[in-house]
Structure 1
């Protein structure tokens, strides 16, 4: 299959817009990394009409996938973790071509994991964690145990990812295998949730209590980025926050995160009078002890 693909990637490598070409072959024990394809050809470009362009090929009962993605899209995937396979591709792929040591620089940055990038990723992950945890708790309190279970599983996953990022690791596809060495107590919570013989509601109740403690231990690192941003002004409207470039990455989870931090006296509400009698604009500021 590699011989068949050679003319394709050679043509791309000759173009000035191409930054690098990577080939990933399916490993029998790691089929998910290539979505069952025998070969994945990853082509990084500076610019394109679409940030992601995909083609599938077949030859002699083998199949290959070609991904042409922009440098901007790659950086977004690495930052937000929305394409976990990309880490496997970058770590294990064979470099066919790179312009100005493109892949070498990326892998160096992944290995070093700059602290500013970590703070932002921790903030995004913490916001997702709080959203899942609070939604799960609401479902539990209303007796919707299966929905609560689903949210709790996801909240533990975000907690595990946050712990890995905090320690300087990029969360990959095998998050639970990674966390086993870093913070085994999080893995233990997950195992108790899915394997316990306790009644379903009791299982969830105990897990909410235990995870509350672990979440509390992550608040400082989880909101470090948010604190940096909010410290830039005395107070903010929700619209100002949602239009701030980096806070936009928190997406729909920002509002829930604010309410969580208000309950814990980390964020304070600033009421500003409107023209309506007794109606106030709701602004937000950091507790002075944190700013």
Structure 2
């Protein structure tokens, strides 16, 4: 397949903005990560008009896909975990071109997984976990059990990813295989939820009790990044958090995480007088006990 695609990637490799070229071939021995294509050509570029450009090719009975991705987009995927296949592509892809050992340095960075990078990723996963857990609990309390079940499944997935990151690894496509080795109690909780013979409401009731303990145990590490950023100044409006470079990635999950931490006593609400009578601006600060 490499010979067939050589003319495509050689043209790209000659361009100065190209940092690296990898080829990922379809394997019948592992979980498919090439989206049914026989091969994926991943080309990393410094800059481009659009962050992701994809083109499909056919050759006899084979098909291939070309993915041109900017370095910034690649870093965003790595940080947010929003493209689960990218780690498999980077780990298992064959390097066809590597300008100034860019790909080699990137792989070394992924293996080392710097702690601050882990801290941000854990914060984002914890925020998603809290959002799903709280929404699931609300559905459960209103007897919408199937909707509650859906949210609980997602919350367990975020809990599993959080545990993998905490252990110093990047969550992969087979995250449950990872967490089974690293934190079997989370894996056991997931299996019990989907395999239990109990009624749906009973399963969910037991799961919420168990999840609450696990979430509580992850709060310090999960909220660490947010609390560290908030300690940069005395108090914050919610909008100031939203536009902060590091907190913007929390997006729609930030409000729920903030309220959870207020309830836990990790963050304090500061009421600031407005022009309206008995109406206050709601500001936030890290609880004094943590300062």
TM-score band (shorter)?
Answer: over 0.9
Consecutive unaligned residues of structure 1, counting only runs of 5 or more, are none
What's the Cα RMSD here? 0.7
| Alignment match, 1:204 | 204
Find the aligned partners of 1:79 and 1:140 in 2 and give their Cα distance.
Answer: 32
Aligned position for 2:271: 271
Q: Secondary structure at the match of 1:28?
A: coil
1:1-291 to 2 correspondences below 5 Å = 1-291=1-291
Cα distance in structure 1, aligned partners of 2:115 and 2:280: 39
> Whole-Å Cα distance in 1 between the matches of residues 290 and 162 of structure 2?
21
> 1:197, CA displacement in angstroms?
0.1
- Once the two structures are TM-superposed, the CA of residue 30 in structure 1 deviates from its matched residue by 2.8
- Per-residue CA shift, 1:233-290, capped at 9, x if unaligned? 1110001000101000101000000111111111111000000000000000111111
- In structure 2, stretches of 5+ residues that fail to align are none
**SS of structure 1 residue aligned to 2:44:** strand
SS at match of 2:100: coil
TM-score by length of structure 2 reads 0.99
What is the deviation of 1:31? Answer: 4.7
* Aligned residues between the structures: 291
CA distance, structure 1, for counterparts of residue 185 and residue 44 of structure 2: 39
SS state of the match for residue 223, structure 1?
Answer: helix
User: 2: distance between equivalents of 1:84 and 1:29?
Assistant: 19
Cα distance in 2 between the residues matched to 1:236 and 1:204: 36
The CA distance in 2 between the partners of 1:192 and 1:230, in whole Å, is: 38
Equivalent-residue separation in structure 2 for 1:137 and 1:230 (angstroms): 28
Using structure 1 for the length normalisation, give the TM-score.
0.99
| Deviation by residue 1:167-209 (Cα, 9 ceiling, x = unmatched) | 1010000000000110000000000000000011000000000
